[in-house]
Chain A
Amino acid sequence: MASSSDLREKIRKKRRALQESLAKSKDDVDTQALVTTEMEMSSDRGRTEVEELSGSQEQQVTTLKQTLKAQRMRRRRKLLEDTTAEATRGDQPMGTELSEVGEPLDSVTKPRSTRHTQRDLPPLPVETPLRRRVAEKLKAAKSKAETLLQQEALSEPTSCLQSLRDRETLTRFDVETDPRLLSRETGELSTAARVKFQDAAHRVRQKAEMETGLPTAEMAYNFFTFNFDPEPQEEPVKRQKKGRSKRRDRAEEEEEGEEEGDSHGEEEEAGAEQEEEEPEEGRDEDAPLVGDQGSELFIIDQTAQDFLEVKAVDYVGYHSRVQRESEVLFTPSLRTVPASSKVPENRQPRYLEDEGLYVGERPPVSRVNQNILENRILQQDEGKKWFGDDGRVQALPNPIKQSPTRPPLFSLEGDLDPALQTVYRKALKSKHAGRYIPGAGPGEEQRHCQLDVDVAGLIFSHHPLFSREHVLGARLAQLYDQHLARQSRNLTGLLTDKLNGLRNATRNIKDLHGEQGLNMAMRQRMVEYKEEVKNTRILRDTEQEKDRTLLKSIVKVWKEMKALREFQRFTNTAYKLHLRREVVELQKDEQDFEAEIQAELAELRGEFEDEYQRKMEQYSQQHEEWRTWRRKQKARKKKKKAKMRDDGEEEEEEEEQEEEFVGDEPPKPELPEKQDWALAEQQVREKASRWRRRPGEPVLVPDISLSGSITPTEQCPRGEIARREDVSKRSLFVKVLYNDKEVSRTDRRSLSSDFRVHFGQIFNLKIVNWPESVRLQVFEVVGSSSSLLAEVFVPLPDTTVLTGSAPFQELEFGSSQRVAFDHEGVGSDVPFSFEADGSNKLTLLTSGKLSCCISWAVDKNEVPLAPPNSQQPWGVRSGLRQMDAIACIGASGLSDMKKLSKWAAESRLDPNDPSNAMLMQLLTVASSGSVQVPDYFRLEQLQEEFNFVTDEELQRSRRFQLLTLRSQEVAEFRNYKNIPAVEREVSEKIFQDYERRLQEGEVIDTRDHLDAHRALVAKYLQKVRESVVNRFLISKHHFILSDLVQEDEVPSIGVLGLNLFKLAEPKRPLKPQRKERKKVTAQNLSDGDIKVLVNIIRAYDIPIRKPLSSKPPVASKSARPFKEPFAAGQSSQNALQGGDWPLSQSQIRPFVEVSFQRTVCQTTTADGPNPCWNEELELPFSAPNGDYSTSSLQSMKDEVFINIFDEMAFDITEDERERGSSVHTRIERHWLGSVKIPFSTVYLQSRIDGTFKVQSPAVLLGYSKERSLASEGGYDAVRCLSEGSFITLFITIQPQLIPGESVRERMKEIKFDTQEEERLLQAAEVFQRDAALCFPGRPCITTVIDINGKAVFVTRYIRALSPPQELLDAFPNSPQETMELVARYVSLIPSLPDSVSFAGICDIWSTCDQFLTLLAGDEEEHAVLLCNYFLFMKKKAWLIIGTAVPEGPTAYVLTYEQGHYVIWDPSKGQYYGQYDTFCPLQTVGCLINADNVWFNLQPYDTPMRMSFDVTRSKLWKPFFSRAFPNPGLSSVQPEEIAYKRSDKAAAAELQDRIEKVLKEKIMEWRPRHPTRWNRYCTATLRHFLPKLELSRGRDVGEEHRLELHNLLGDYRISGFPLHMAFSELHPLVEMVYSTGVHNVEAPSIEFALAVYVHPYPSSVLSVWVYLASLVRTR
């Protein structure tokens, strides 16, 4: 099927394409193509005829059909090919076909032609050949069919047709069942296909018609509108459903509709028709259809109607449908399902709600729907599972909230939450925005709201000007009003009716049921009724009493009034009371009265009866109890008596016990007494007589009129006249205040004599703001002054209250003003009396009623001019507020516990509703205690419940603590790399240091420092350091672009050109140039990556050994210069000493030992006093904590120690016989001197290259300096000036580390707060920038940072300061000596580089007094102090800012002495001439004195090659010039420094301690050897040290040595005094250690150690340590 339908589809498409192409081509071609296709179709038709003929029997037919179908398919394919081929072939086949046109079709053509003529169309020339061709084709097809089917040949087409026609009916009925079958088999597709083909055929026919040149209207229409889509299939389906009879009819109709040609044609037509029918019924699909159409096309001309059929709507009768549906459908009934069928059997429905469980409100479902649902569900399997225990369909509570949870949002622009306000302030409306009535949108017109205030008038119920009569009158009026009001309410009547009704009801019950027939419920009801009756009666009685008293008081007041009028002889008021009597029937009245009393009595009796009953019951119960108790008592007594007989003594106690046991005796109940009837009756009657109208008494109706006449004024006494005048003077007006603003006021109305004022004015208030309050103020005017009498607040009307319908309100007002008059007016708040004797005083306050009305106005169109209801704050409060707490009390109210609980109580929350659970819990908590509103607010309420662990546990976790501390960069953990993943792996000890540090705080440990003062200073320094570090850390996070982006400079043209030149330069391999090494950033380094390279090249002038001979040293000294060759001199010496040291060949065998971080390397040993090693030593480097960050590297305090030793070999071969065969020597080394270079210097300068002076002790025992050598070398001039030995070094770090960015550059970015002028700072900045631009290498300083972190201009530091007086006094005659002494003093202050103490953060300059207090400072501080001292000594002194080796950027002092300049090294206390080669100062950047700063503009910056004449502005650029003069900066230095006197005792104590410590240390360092101390030597040395101090370590060597030699002739001594400024013990120990004296291992070695501490003022201490080793030679 599918394939066939596909095929059909294809064909259709092809055909359409064909048609389109054909339409374009020539006419004849067109027809040709058409004809051929149609001819093929007609062949099919012919075949069908054949089939029809034979197919009398169904089976045969069907089989045939099937075979045919297959064949058709095949043929169709061929046909398609043919048609396409033919279309191209053109006319050619026409001829052949023409010739083959056969006879049999003539009959067919005839009617056709007639038809054409009828159409008034000229016959087509092609027509006949066409027909012929068709006929021919037909014939061919027939023959084919014949052969195929193997049937008998047909005799004649006509006969065939005829026979067909005859058989027509037969087939119809025969195949009655057949089409159905088929339709079932083939389905709708066949029909669909058929229709398609019909359609196609139709179109083809139209094409044919188009050839005539006259398209029909339909065709035209189709051309434009037809949609060539497959037709929908519904239609054919429907059509198939229809009865067959219709078809028959239709066929006939068609026949009728046609114009009948002749009978033959008709037959033909019918045949065609028949054939059209046939495929519908019998054939499955297309082929027969094609045949049909083909025949139609050619045989008859039909209109479109012929192919369409109009069918009536298929209709099945209602009843039959209902019947049919009722078989399959189930309609649930609408009836209620009995509850029993919904719950499981044998079970009662149970109602959870009754059991107290919460059952939510069900969603509303209509009863009918529910029934339907239940009925339906019950029909299902397991239908009952849908029902709950209560027999209802299970349902969740209604989820729909009655109100929105959110308070409705009315205006988006209005009062925004402040948290949401955006920053654009301007756009916000004014704060009164919310008070305006909305609706004033930009486009909309401002809405008018109008409030009408109608002030009608006012009546005073009391006024100061009231006369007494007025008072009474007012009271009367008031009472009368009350009376009227009561009457209108008629409470008494109502209650009486109710009472009667109740009584009737009770009686009815009694009558109906009788006394005994009452069941429980009825009895209950009776009791209730009785109770009700009783209550009602009491109520009625009180009401009646009130009525009566009111009436009485009215009468009484009236009587008083009358009396008063009589008394004063005039009347002021027009009140008149009439009492109208309504006569009543006495008889009936009496009856009623009696009946009423009787009824009451009866009820009372009943009540009494009940009461008595109850009491009796109670009594009997109590009595019973009492009796049982009595009986027990008696029994016990009997027992007691029996016991008494047994034992007398025990009895007493027991009795007491007994007594206690029995306890209190129940009181003997009294018999309730009967009520006294007579008394009761009397009471009732009395009451009735008092409160009720007596029988026969007429009903009194009071009536007050104002008809009385008022006495004219003339006739009144004077007081009254005065009062009346006063009254007439007064007038009143009312102000209307809207939102506390006066909007209008009434006219003034004078006060009338009856104290009523009528205004009758209406004010129309057009309002913009929200109405908040409307106030009326009553003013009283006397003369020209007005006073506020009272104020009335008028409630704002609801928006529904409109003008016209609004009732008047009477608003009471009052005033507490005290008014008193001397006339008849009673005044206000003043006591007065009606009595003549003044008793029974009354005090009345002014009061009254204001009658007014406020309403919203209505405009012409009856539209209320009220604001929208919803916006009104009081309009929202509707039923919702009960349900939603927020809507009711507002969100802020939720935190107010009291408000909330109140609301909860009011709204009667369902305590079982889960949605209220939170609220209820809150409330129970709140209400359990006295309502305790906590004064705190819990942020995360349920946090506690869900916590994993407690806070403490979290706090206790060591790992977390460690992580946090690390991330906080706490010093101890800053670079902690790996933190264990598991808690237990974190050791507890890890925090010990940290915690100790935290705990220590202020505690000062003097043990480490030996000196309390120094400990304090250390503490203070630490603090300063911390604060600076913190300050720096903050600024460290302030990044600039260059911190983050490293950008290589783009080479400029000049640089490029230069490089090009370089290419052209000749190569000079013999002049190698140092290449820049690649720099490594420090962060990704680890231990072992970095090495310190120390290149030791050579040394000069190392002291040589001195033979231990008795020869006077002077001789040797003098002798040596004459020795020409160096070695020769030695040999001669050796010859002398040969016996002692046979192995020591040379005068000295020095080697260098470099120690760094406790790793030690040493060079090979060289010979002679000017050795040359040229060796490279590699020392591994490790940073503290593995932290290789720049800041940590900068703050490293490690130093590179370079020690020069003399290696001495001693022959210790003891056995002389072995001397020939073995060598046994011991090597000793003697310290000669050292050079210390701090690592930070190496790091910051990246390399240190130069010749350094070796720090050698002033005296080296056993060694001597060869001064004479000066003439030998080339350095004569130089070396003769300088003393000591020198060493040439090159130190660097491998790989090269990037030094931390220059401290000063860094600091430039950070702006320090300052007190300097802005102008000065700017100038300083410019000056520095210019300097850096011209000479980037030269340091230039204008502003520095003081200890408080403030920027200070540098010249402020320079100020003449006096040195300690004792220093000045030391050498009064020699200024040179004094200067040296002062320099020494300064140098004795320990030096502590800032970069170390402040972690390379910044250079801090402290003032001199701070410096002396701290006793620690940088080169700058030393230099400043020294410079200041020199200035005091009237020297010309400057501060030099420059660089020096090895310390780098530093500060020196320059003085001008007798025509030449002297450079002072302040931290060493040494001075150099300007042309001194070994001056450590390398570059000079600027000079500073108190007045100015000069920057070096000379081409050279080494001191030797420059001029220090600052007056030459070409060479020195001054900061303050004529353009910018010095503003006269005041100094930051103190006027004078107070020096502490030197403390000798403390020094001595310190001296002992140091000595002790050092001795201990030395013994500690020699763990395997005994350490012997030569006391004698020590004493000698100690004696000697002060001398050294005095001479500052110079020029004492020889004498000293001689002295020593004399003392210890038979010892070989090697030793030296060490000198240093005292800061701490630790460096001292380090220094002693580095000399390596303790390493001597000679068995007979002895040591001598002496310490001397020389105190200078201000605790500056100079420490001398004399260290010697002695070896006994004999």
Chain B
Amino acid sequence: MAELHIIGQIVGASGFPHSSLFCKWGIHAGGAWRLLSGLREGQTQVDSPQTSDMAFWSHPIDLHYATKGLQGWPKLHLQVWHQDLFGRCELSGYGYCHVPSSPGHHRLRCATWRPLGSWQEQLAQSFVGGGPQLRFPDVIYSGADRYRLHTAAGGTVELELAVILRNFDKYGVES
């Protein structure tokens, strides 16, 4: 029974049009994976950087998985949100990245996107905030039929993950 530890942090995000961001994250793994301990989703604090445009969260991620197969290797999905002046939250990016499958320390940069909506929606967004969001956030990692969406690029989220594999070699998975 192979085990996988994912220990790391969501360092922060940069390149978003707004500062004062926070991030909702979650890990999605296939049916063969069993979470032994740790939280598989969470939300960071709101960081409004004073100097640079990089928002730092340093949000810890600590998961311990046991698996009976390689399918459905865990993947991270992220939603970066922006909290505006009035404390309202609006979406500013969806992101998705695979958890690295090689052991060791990894620095990941996860690019994000957000749905654009029609021009009316964009107009409304620029004046009253809010904006289109996915009705079913599963699309972030399922990706089926996403080609129908019009999106705009968001910033990037930086992650640092340390991956520890155990017993994978027993089952013929070389790492």
Contact = CB atoms under 8 A, between A and B. Distances in A.
Given A424-B132, A947-B32, A954 B144 contact: no
Most buried by B among A953, A957, A966: A957
A190 to B, nearest CB: 57
B121 A967 contact: no
A224 interface: no
A406 B68 contact: no
A424 B116 CA distance: 11
Contact of A422 (B68, B72, B115): B115
Interface in B97-141: 115, 117-118, 120-121, 124, 131-136, 138-139
A420 B69 CA distance: 30
B67 interface: yes
A949 B134 CA distance: 37
B89 interface: no
A939 B31 contact: yes
B145 interface: yes
A963 B64 contact: yes
A588 B8 CA distance: 106
Contacts of B171: 948-949
Interface stretch (A409-417, A1214-1222, A1237-1245): A409-417
A576 to B, nearest CB: 69
B134 A963 contact: no
Nearest to A953: B1
A421 interface: yes
B146 A420 contact: yes
A312 interface: no
Contacts of B118: 413, 424, 427
Interface string A937-960: 001101100111111011001001
Contacts of A957: 1, 66
B70 to A, nearest CB: 6
Contacts of A396: none
B127 to A, nearest CB: 14
B68 A950 contact: yes
A416 B64 contact: no
A424 B91 CA distance: 13
A498 B44 CA distance: 87
A963 B36 contact: yes
A1004 B156 CA distance: 60
A406 B145 CA distance: 9
Given A412-B150, A957-B1, A424 B121 contact: yes
A424 B121 CA distance: 7
A966 B148 contact: no
Interface string B1-35: 11000000000000000000000000000111010
A365 interface: no
Contact of A946 (B69, B117, B121, B145): B69
A942 B72 CA distance: 11
A1433 to B, nearest CB: 57
Contacts of B147: 406, 409
Interface in A942-996: 942-943, 946-951, 953-954, 957, 960, 963-964, 966-967
B117 A427 contact: yes
A420 B71 contact: no
Contacts of A943: 30-32, 69, 71
Nearest to B166: A981
A957 B134 CA distance: 39
Dominant SS among interface residues on chain A? loop
A940 B30 contact: yes
A942 B31 CA distance: 12
B151 to A, nearest CB: 10
Nearest to B72: A940
A1089 to B, nearest CB: 26
Given A409-B147, A412-B150, A943-B69, A966 B117 contact: no
A963 B72 CA distance: 22
Given A424-B132, A946-B70, A967 B37 contact: yes
Contacts of A427: 117-118, 120-121, 132
B135 A422 contact: yes
A413 B150 CA distance: 10
B1 A951 contact: no
Contact of B69 (A406, A421, A948, A963): A948
A419 B68 contact: no
B115 A966 contact: no
A946 B67 CA distance: 11
Contacts of A417: 144-145, 148
Nearest to A418: B135
B2 A409 contact: no
Contacts of B66: 954, 957, 960
Contact of B134 (A413, A422, A953): A422
A424 B132 CA distance: 6
A416 B148 contact: yes
Given A940-B72, A957-B1, A419 B138 contact: yes
Contacts of B139: 419-420
B117 A954 contact: no
A423 B66 CA distance: 36
A618 B37 CA distance: 82
A940 B71 contact: yes
A960 B69 contact: no
A948 B38 CA distance: 23
A984 to B, nearest CB: 13
Given A417-B148, A424-B132, A946-B70, A954 B34 contact: yes
Given A409-B148, A419-B135, A954 B1 contact: yes
B149 interface: yes
Contacts of B145: 417, 419-420
Contacts of B146: 420
Contacts of A954: 1, 34, 66, 68
Nearest to B134: A422
A1291 B126 CA distance: 64
Contact of A420 (B2, B72, B149, B170): B149
A1309 to B, nearest CB: 19
Given A419-B144, A419-B145, A948-B69, A966 B37 contact: yes
Nearest to B32: A943
Contacts of A419: 135-136, 138-139, 142, 144-145
Contacts of B170: 948
B64 to A, nearest CB: 7
B148 to A, nearest CB: 6
A1019 to B, nearest CB: 31
Contacts of A960: 1, 34, 36, 66
A948 B170 CA distance: 9
A967 B38 contact: yes
A1575 to B, nearest CB: 61
Nearest to B67: A948
B79 to A, nearest CB: 13
Contacts of A421: 135
A116 B36 CA distance: 105
Contacts of B144: 417, 419
Nearest to B133: A423
Nearest to A428: B118
A702 B175 CA distance: 91
Interface in A138-173: none
A957 B135 CA distance: 39
Contacts of B69: 943, 946-948
Interface in A372-424: 406, 409, 412-413, 416-424
Interface string B73-112: 0000000000000000000000000000000000000000
B4 to A, nearest CB: 12
Given A417-B144, A419-B142, 9 more contacts: A412-B150, A417-B148, A420-B146, A420-B149, A422-B115, A422-B121, A949-B68, A954-B66, A964-B36
10 contacts: A422-B135, A424-B132, A427-B118, A940-B32, A942-B71, A946-B69, A949-B1, A953-B1, A954-B1, A964-B34
Minimum-distance CB pairs A-B, first 9: A967-B37, A422-B132, A948-B171, A963-B36, A427-B118, A417-B145, A947-B69, A423-B133, A424-B132
